[in-house]
Structures are given as structure tokens and as C-alpha cells.
Amino acid sequence: MSKRRKKKSTKSYFVVRAIISLISVYILVSIIYPLISPKSKVPCANSLSCKESLKLKVENNALGVFNNHQVVPPYISLSEESVKPVVLGAETTSGEKRIYVDLATQTLTAYEGKKLFMKTFIASGKWNRTPKGKFTVWVKLRATRMSGGSGADYYDLPNVPYVMFFGNDETPNSAGFSLHGTYWHNNFGHPMSHGCVNMRTIDAEKIYNWVNPITESNTTYSSSKNPGVKIKIYGDAPI
């Protein structure tokens, strides 16, 4: 074999080895990254599998459990009259709708443009942290069942009303974090949830009917034509 051919063969060998090494690194990263990325570290807010609470579910004859006590859920009607869907474009707004949740003061503030729509106490995560950042409401459910925890903090709550699920790139929609009404405690102004933003049911109903996506049925997903409202969650919750 000539020196020239031998040199060319050696060069091709190292090129092939380099390509194989790059492919190996890519495969290794694709396997390991999902296991260590922030998304994978986000716990499910209200279920063990991140699935149960993400669909409309009403159980008017069921009882709930919270803090080792039995609780009675509210009766929920899914009649078309109770939904009162709003035709898109039928209402004029004075500006963009925005929601701010201050974990330090345990308050929620909602604005439409520069106009204050609501300010109220909430209860954020005690057993699991409420995620911080900028989020978008991706679906609204008239009601669902939420369960999770273990031991003393086990809970199983049918008919959680006026649920507004939110997410972003760091906290996937499947994690199940939301704003929602609360019937099992009245300790607003203090951390009390497993990661969601608990609200008085009367306040949650008002926000639910106000935020985008505009309510079209008992389950309303955001879309390009009916986008979800933006939520900013910030501050450090009191211990």
C-alpha cells in the first residue's frame, strides 16, 4: 500500500471514529437529559400519575377526605344553562388581562389593562411548592377530582370547582398546577395546598368567568383564537 493511500485510509478511519463518537454522545444525552432536566423534577400537583385531575369530572354523591377529616363537596350542575358560554368578540375589553400571584403575601391580583379587577387572599403550596415564573392558562374545567399526598397529608377531593390549569416550558401542563375554588379549608392567606393556588370558591368563580380562554363549555381549551390568560407567580411563601 502506498504512503498516500495509507494516509488517506488513516484519515477516513479517524473521521468515522469521530462520527461514531458524536452519535454516541447524542444518544447518551437524549437518554440522560430527560431524567435530570427541570421538567422531570416537577412533581404532579394533584395526582400520582399527573393524569386524573386533568379532565372534567363531577361526582355529586361522593365524599372527600382532607387532613384526616371527611368533607362534603359542593353540588355541581353541568347543565347548559349553568355554563353560560360567551360568544367570542361579544364583549369589549379595556386592555390585556393579567394575573399576579404574590407568594410572599399570599395574594392574587388581577388586572384588565390598568384597571384592577380583583385582589384577594389565596393559599399556595405547603406540602409541595407552587412553581414560580410566567404561565399561561391552557384549559378551564368546571370541576374535577383531585387526590394525592400520603399518610397525614393524604387527600381525595371530588368536585373541585372552577379549575384553571396553567403551565410553561419549565412546568409542563401535565403536572396539573392550577387556580381553583376550595371548599375543604378556609385558611386563605397562608400556604395550605399541595402546589396549586387555592382560592375561595366565590373568588374562583369570578376569576373563572373573567379569564381567557373565554368559557365555551364545561371544558374550555385555549387556542390561537381563544388564548389563555397570562399568570405571573413570584415571591417566597412564608414558612
Domain harbouring 110, CATH code:
2.40.440.10
- What is the number of other CB atoms lying within 10 angstroms of the CB of residue 145? 21
Tell me, yes or no, whether 176 and 96 share the same domain: yes
User: What single-letter DSSP state applies at residue 106?
Assistant: T
Tell me, yes or no, whether 32 and 133 share the same domain: no
- The closest of 65, 61, 48, 86 to 156, measured between CA atoms, is 65
Tell me, yes or no, whether 137 and 212 share the same domain: yes
- What is the number of other CB atoms lying within 10 angstroms of the CB of residue 119? 13
Tell me, yes or no, whether 81 and 178 share the same domain: yes
Tell me, yes or no, whether 31 and 95 share the same domain: no
Residue 92 has pLDDT above 60, yes or no: no
Helix (H, G, I), strand (E, B) or coil at 159: strand
- Domain membership of residue 206 as a residue range: 44-234
Q: Beta strands 230-234 and 97-102: pairing type? A: parallel
Number of domains in the chain: 2
Q: What ranges in 42-90 are assigned the alpha helix state H?
A: 80-83
* Domain contains 225: yes
The whole-model pTM stands at 0.78
Cell of residue 202, nine digits? 366565590
Q: Give per-residue pLDDT as tens, 31-73.
A: 454 444 444 467 778 766 666 678 999 999 999 999 889 999 9
Q: Give per-residue pLDDT as tens, 156-189.
A: 999 999 999 999 999 999 899 999 999 999 999 9
Q: Give per-residue pLDDT as tens, 202-226.
A: 999 999 999 999 999 999 999 999 9
* Domain contains 69: yes
* Domain contains 9: yes
* Domain contains 152: yes
* Domain contains 239: no
Count the alpha carbons within 13 Å of 7 in the hemisphere toward its beta carbon.
3
Tell me, yes or no, whether 30 and 94 share the same domain: no
Tell me, yes or no, whether 182 and 91 share the same domain: yes
